[in-house]
Amino acid sequence: MTESIFTKIIRKQIPCHLLYEDDLVIAFLDINPVRLGHSLIVPKIQVDYFVDVPVNYYQAAFSLAQKLAPAIQKALGTTRIGLSVVGTEVPHFHLHLIPIEQDRIEGIRTFGNAAVLARQAELIRSVLNQA
């Protein structure tokens, strides 16, 4: 099986704007955010389709979503986070956490400015670490 880009991130072969990781999951900012604060939660096992993900990884991903969303809200001042599973681009199951503004979740993707993403990741990590 070809390594997904997310497996390469998990193995530290390519960088990411890390928010959190443990034995089962990793969370980092989307490199091409729909909204500022757009984050991904990825299980540390490469499985494409959500129905095939082992339940402990699946539960760990959703459990982290419940902790990470309030941290993103507090760090970036957003009122609500949308949660979605898409999987059209990267064949490695992941959750999208996307701040909702003016009742809309979609936005125009602009390539994430590395300095802005780094600052956002730092803010979100600091809130998560207070919890």
Among all residues, which ones are annotated catalytic?
94
> 131: buried, middle or exposed (CB in 10 Å: 19+, 13-18, 0-12)?
exposed
Contact between 89 and ligand AMP by CB under 6 A: the answer reads yes
Contact between 31 and ligand AMP by CB under 6 A: the answer reads yes
- Other beta carbons within 10 angstroms of residue 34's beta carbon come to 19
Three-class DSSP category at 120:
helix
Contact between 87 and ligand AMP by CB under 6 A: the answer reads yes
Binding segment for ligand AMP (CB under 6 A), chosen from 48-56, 75-83, 84-92, 122-130, is 84-92
Binding segment for ligand AMP (CB under 6 A), chosen from 50-58, 65-73, 86-94, 98-106, is 86-94
DSSP code of residue 37: T
- Rounded to whole angstroms, the Cα distance separating 13 from 8 reads 5
Question: Please, what is the minimum distance in Å from the beta carbon of residue 120 to ligand AMP?
Answer: 13
